[in-house]
Structure 1
Amino acid sequence: MTDQLSADRPRARRKERGGGRPASEEKILAAAKELFLADGYDGVNLERIAERAGVSRQTVYNRFGSKETVFREMVRHHWSAFVGPDRPLAECDTEASAEDVLRGFAQSLQRFADETDQIRFARLVVSESGRLPWIADEFYRLGKGPITAAFADCLGGLVRSGRLRCPDPHLAARQFMGLVQEFLVWPRVMAFEDEAADQPSAQVVVEEAVLTFLARYSPAPDGPARPA
């Protein structure tokens, strides 16, 4: 497996340039994503990525160095769509009610699944990670892991302000994500057509997840919650 320093090299170069990706990198990553989702990891090489992006193979190599690094950066780029100016985790609003924070986060999970290639991406990870465990590791490290940690920190802020009573925010964060994703994500990832067709609406799933979570973690009625 490529050394992690090599995998992080493009990010370091972007820092030196002062931030966002050049347009050519965006084109390369978009092309790579189309190809990897269609043909899997082994079905793609730098030549095909270059051809789809309309650049030379040397340009792809100069920007990223290897197919593995392209894949890692494509995963990073994919997950970057989750958090933005209109996403609750860009700045967790600890002045909002626990109900509003939970609903906003659940709606972000729904939106990400509906508006990106998250379902196809998750299928790719499931199919490839048996042979290439680092793919699942990167998918978690660059996406679900940081998102879960940020949501847990948000829940921790609600605990400290007395709006939740939650001894383990990280456990609670995973529980809430499960309440949402079990209905809105995993039946689609696994292509359970009958189950997916028989699901309640997304709005019902979100509202029931919020109510279930609050039934367990709302503050005691006789006073504010105390951090565990």
Structure 2
Amino acid sequence: MSKVVPTYHQRVAQEKRALIVTAATELFLELGYDRTSLARIAERSGVSRATLFKQFPSKAALFDAIVTESWSTAEEEDPPPAGNVVDGLTAIGRRYAELLSRPQMTDLFRIVIAELPRFPELAHAQFSQGKVPYFESVRSYLRAEHEAGTVRIEDVDLAATQFLGMISNYVFWPTLLVPGWKVSAERVAQVVDEAVRTIAARYGASGPATSAND
């Protein structure tokens, strides 16, 4: 797939957008969502208020951008083709572990957890715009494998939750609770490989598939 090379003005706009998102994330963590104004974000990011309002007309729109960018994959790769569930899940698992290892993902969850009592809409945005679309991509992949006959899965929601949970429970969640929690690249690879083996052993099958839940 060919990529469009951005013009100078597009590149400048993208750079300013990145500065704004970084500054907003920092201020939400330092001061809280409620006490952080768009004016303060503009000052921290070094852009004019007009530039900020042009890209983000509201604080909610800016938070939505933080969610979207936190959950986006590095290269927006296509899902693996069905036919080899071990290779496919390994690719998905590695992408997921890399995603969870980004500092901005930890920052996003900390903001949502801290502001949940007063701003439940932030949690809704994080769930509906971030986690759900990502989960749906894994769910769709497992359904495709079921239809290809490589696995037998009656409940693809459960299977997707099991797979992602085995990775996040070791790679991500302790970072929110345990100071200095670090996981080596070798350990991450082992966690992903074991999750793949577990799913393949539980759901592996041969022959044509008959049905899968929607």
TM-score (ref. length: structure 1)? 0.77
Following TM superposition, by how much is the alpha carbon of 1:162 offset from its aligned partner in structure 2, in angstroms? Answer: 0.7
Q: What's the counterpart of residue 199 of structure 2?
A: 213
Partner of 1:44: 36
* Structure 1 residue 78: Cα displacement: 2.3
Aligned length: 201
Give the 5 Å matches for 1:126-165. Answer: 126-165=113-152
Contact 2:29 2:111 in 1 (8 A): yes
In the TM superposition, residue 156 of structure 1 has moved relative to its aligned partner by: 0.8
Question: SS of the residue aligned with 1:167?
Answer: coil
What residue is the counterpart of 1:56 in the other structure? 48
Higher relative contact order (CA 8 A, sep 6+): 2
- The residue aligned with 1:102 is 89
Q: Which residue in the other structure is 1:34 paired with?
A: 26
Following TM superposition, by how much is the alpha carbon of 1:111 offset from its aligned partner in structure 2, in angstroms?
Answer: 0.7
Letter in 2 for 1:147: Y
The reply on whether 1:227 has 2:211 as its aligned counterpart is: yes
Maintained 8 Å contact 2:112/2:122: yes
**Matched AA of 2:210:** R
Cα distance between partner residues in 2 of 1:197 and 1:30: 23
Q: Evaluate the alpha carbon distance shift between residue 102 and residue 50 of structure 1 in structure 2; reply closer, same or farther with a 3 A threshold.
A: same
Give the Cα–Cα distance (whole angstroms) in 2 for the partners of residues 33 and 162 of structure 1: 44
Between stretches 208-217 and 67-76, larger displacement belongs to: 67-76
| Structure 2 residue matching 1:141: 3-state secondary structure | helix
Q: 1:197, CA displacement in angstroms?
A: 6.7
Structure 1 position 152, deviation (Å): 0.5
Separation (CA, whole Å) in 2 of partners of 1:35 and 1:165: 47
Structure-2 change in CA distance of 1:97 and 1:116 (3 Å): farther
Residue 171 (structure 1) shift: 2.1
Flag structure 2 segments of 5+ consecutive residues without an equivalent.
1-9
* 118-127 or 159-168, which deviates more: 118-127
What is the deviation of 1:22?
4.1
Instruction: Between 115-124 and 46-55, report the one with greater CA deviation.
Output: 115-124
Task: Give the alignment partner of residue 186 of structure 1, picking from 169, 173, 176.
Answer: 173
- Contact kept, 8 Å, 2:175 with 2:182, in 1: the verdict is no
